[in-house]
Copies of this chain bind each other. A is one copy, B any other.
Amino acid sequence: MAAATPPARPTIRDIAREAGVSVATVSRVTHDDPRVVPETKRRVQEVIDRLGYRPSALGRALSYQRTLTLGIALPGLGGPYFAQLIEGAESVAVERGVVINVVGTHLRPDAADAVRQLAERTDGLIVAGGTLSEDDVADLAASGRVVVVAGDQPGVPCVVTDGRAAAAELVRHLVEAHGHRRLRFVGEPDGSPDTAWRYAGFRDVLAERGLTEAGEPLRLGLDVRSGAVAARLLHDEGVLPDALVCGNDELATGMLATLPGLGHRIPTDVAVTGFDDQALAEIASPRLTTVHQPVADLGALAAAGALGGDLPARTTLPTRLVVRESCGCTQEGAPR
């Protein structure tokens, strides 16, 4: 039997020696350089195939001074929001022959370090809002790396949606179309800049209408489970507000799933709204009134910026209010 060869990866010099040519010629063959005469090319290619040679990405990167990689740093990998962001970025990356590397930081005590590591191995970096402190991002940008923030940060190119205005539009719908006056926000404004802006928009409208919040924001995470927790919390408080404005769709879905079991009908007893317009929102019952965000477009734009170079300091993409039934509108779109 053939002795199992220790699978040491051959280097370009191994190939050169074995094929009786110079490393330059091997490199030319791997780059399809037309200057190599067919016969030589064939011979080299044969050796490459036989030895299973593949140029080391590391060596290449060092020499090119480019890694052909785009980095994306996110707080966590859960949730459709980030998946969509990545998809958007991926579409651009594929076009440019670049591969995407993602890191999630929310489990890491050394988040900033992990991202720096990533930055080190990529040509450009997309940092999602809330992944790092502003200082860390600024630091990164200052160290000569191309950084784009999907979210909000002065001094660094950003791609954003106007969450504040979007939330305001949503809340205005609740107030104007449905006459709700006792509104409560669900989500942790201090948890992420996005949530903070949404909360700000929420408060804008209350102020505008001379309303007061029906209680402190319910400071919970942005996941389904937190929605269930929030529902129980509210139920235990006794009296529910007219409407619950949730930080995102998952949170809202958790409430949608839990409130009816506690005897609160939606939207009759209480209206619920989401944010993001994810797949869930359309499936939920009642279907969720929410704000559509062009998340994939954000990702694509950020990717183009991070790879291409010049992006204006700030690009704002439009959102769209999606009125379904959880706010109290009918299937046909009429209020109540």
Contact = CB atoms under 8 A, between A and B. Distances in A.
A207 interface: no
Contacts of A118: 99, 101
B103 A102 contact: yes
A54 B143 contact: yes
A143 B7 contact: yes
Contacts of A107: 87, 90-91, 94
Contacts of A79: 83
A258 B9 CA distance: 53
A329 interface: no
Nearest to A82: B77
Given A90-B104, A101-B103, A58 B52 contact: no
A59 B62 contact: yes
Contacts of A144: 7-9
A316 interface: no
B94 A99 contact: no
A285 interface: yes
List the 10 closest A-B pairs by CB distance, nearest first: A7-B144, A57-B120, A78-B83, A102-B102, A101-B101, A77-B83, A257-B283, A90-B107, A99-B117, A99-B114
25 contacts: A7-B144, A9-B143, A52-B143, A54-B120, A57-B117, A58-B61, A58-B62, A58-B67, A58-B120, A59-B62, A69-B121, A87-B107, A90-B107, A94-B108, A94-B110, A99-B103, A99-B117, A101-B103, A102-B103, A102-B104, A224-B283, A225-B282, A228-B283, A257-B285, A260-B285
